Amino acid sequence: MEKFSTFITITSSSAAKPCSFIPSPLETTLKLLRSLAAASLCVAIAFPVMAQQERVIRFGHLNNTDHPVSFGVKRFSELLATKSGGKMKVQEFPANQLGNEQQQQSALQGGVQQMYSPATTSLAGIVKEFGVVDFPFAVSTFEQADALLDGPLGKALIDKLPEKGLVSLGYWDLGFRNVTNSKHPINKPEDLAGLKIRVIPNPVFLDTFKAFKANPVPMPFAELYGALESKAVDGQENPFAVILSNKFYEVQKFVSATNHVYAANIILVSKKFWDTLTPNEQKWMQEAANESRSYQRQVSRAAAQKSVGELQAKGAQFNTVTPAEQTRMRKIAQPVIEKFAAQYDPALVKLYNSELTRIRK
């Protein structure tokens, strides 16, 4: 009451106005609060990045730092840092440092790890329709592969991931897969008969190599070099850049350009992490992924072309498979495609077939 009395005395003596116009303490307080709120809003609008908290993103993958996937991670990191004013920082963990395929996928779903870029093949265990990407001999050029994955089919597959605890920002290039082994060249499907071939733990791959009468052995990538070295398996199949980067030429003499499947890496984000981001942060991450895509694909495809010469220089015996023999392989594998297509979402299979028709024209 003492402070209120003083306020009335000062105000009435200096303003020389009727007391009915003197603001009450409540009105004065409300006016002050409104002014402070308006000022805070102006600061938030003027300095949105300054108010944003720092984010540290653990980005894991299976490849070495000289592989195009690693180059893609680095470009994504640079772009995201620029867009966020340095507030979003990417830490790269290459070469299985955060675990094998299933371990990193589980870490993303649990929110322990923020990002991961595996081959799409590894997702067939949680969204079986990703198996369509692995159908043998579906596409024959990079242009066809890009059109398939960047179009409605690729989006339809991505849309199935959030319910599994994952968000995808798009696809990077891994390349056409080719067979290596320690026994003999692969010139025709019969040459695969009886070979123990390591494959990604994926039903489409297993059945495809069984159709060629090989003995497919599902195995995590991290265990592959040791298995090749010890002769636990005779061979494996991967893009040329992966074969070179992981030095499989040290334990595999024969490299055969079968080009049996086009493989893509997918950019994954933990949904638990994604849901903590602001709309601006999500926008920056998607833009960084989009802008890094062309660069990564260009680097990857140049590396694949260069890898063949380097593999030969290191002593690998290289051979191509003729178009006629590839056609024979495609026919042998056709029942595998029909089997799995019958198990998938009919609407997605219809979309897949219509997209193939479109891109092949």
Q: Write the pLDDT tens digit of every residue in 31-46.
A: 554 654 454 444 444 4
Which residue matches tokens 């890094």?
Answer: 292
The strand pair at 166-181 and 235-238 is best described as antiparallel
Whether residue 78 is predicted with pLDDT greater than 60 in this model: the reply is yes
Return the closest-CA partner of residue 182 out of 233, 245, 247: 233
pLDDT of residue 28: 52
CA distance 35 to 227: 70
- Convert the pLDDT of each residue in 193-248 to its tens digit: 999 999 988 899 999 999 999 999 999 999 999 999 999 999 999 999 999 999 99
Return the domain boundaries, the chain. 53-360
Select from 65, 79, 54, 64 the least CA-distant residue to 289: 79
Taking the C-alpha atoms of residue 210 and residue 67, their distance in angstroms, rounded to an integer, is 30
* Average pLDDT value for residue range 70-90: 98
Q: What percent of the chain stands above pLDDT 90?
A: 84
Residue 257 has pLDDT above 90, yes or no: yes
What is residue 24's predicted lDDT score, i.e. its pLDDT?
55
Residue 150, pLDDT score: 98
Average pLDDT, the chain: 89
The band of 51, judged by pLDDT with boundaries at 50, 70 and 90, is low
The pLDDT of 110-123, averaged and rounded, is 96
- What is the pLDDT, as a whole number, of residue 276? 98
Contacts of 188 (CB under 8 A, 6+ apart): 321, 325, 328
**What pLDDT is recorded for position 12?**
36
Q: What is the mean pLDDT of residues 130-154?
A: 97
- Asked if pLDDT for residue 19 goes beyond 80, the answer is no
254 or 30: whose pLDDT is higher?
Answer: 254
In terms of DSSP H, where are the helices of 89-179? 101-110, 142-150, 152-158
Cβ atoms of 224 and 152 closer than 8 Å: no
Strand partners, 254: 181, 317
Higher pLDDT, 252 or 202: 252
pLDDT at site 289:
98
pLDDT digits (tens, 9 = 90+) for 304-316: 999 999 999 999 9
pTM above 0.85, yes or no: no
- For 53-360, which CATH superfamily applies? Bacterial extracellular solute-binding protein, family 7 (3.40.190.170)
Banded pLDDT at 361 (limits 50, 70, 90): confident
The three-point CA angle 168-170-174 to 5° equals 115
Q: What does the pLDDT read at residue 14?
A: 38
pLDDT at 168: 98
Instruction: Give me the helices (H) in the chain, please.
Output: 2-15, 25-46, 48-51, 68-83, 101-110, 142-150, 152-158, 203-211, 224-229, 240-245, 271-274, 279-313, 323-341, 346-360
228, amino acid identity: L
- Report percent pLDDT > 70 for the chain: 86
pLDDT confidence tier of residue 4, bands split at 50, 70 and 90? very low
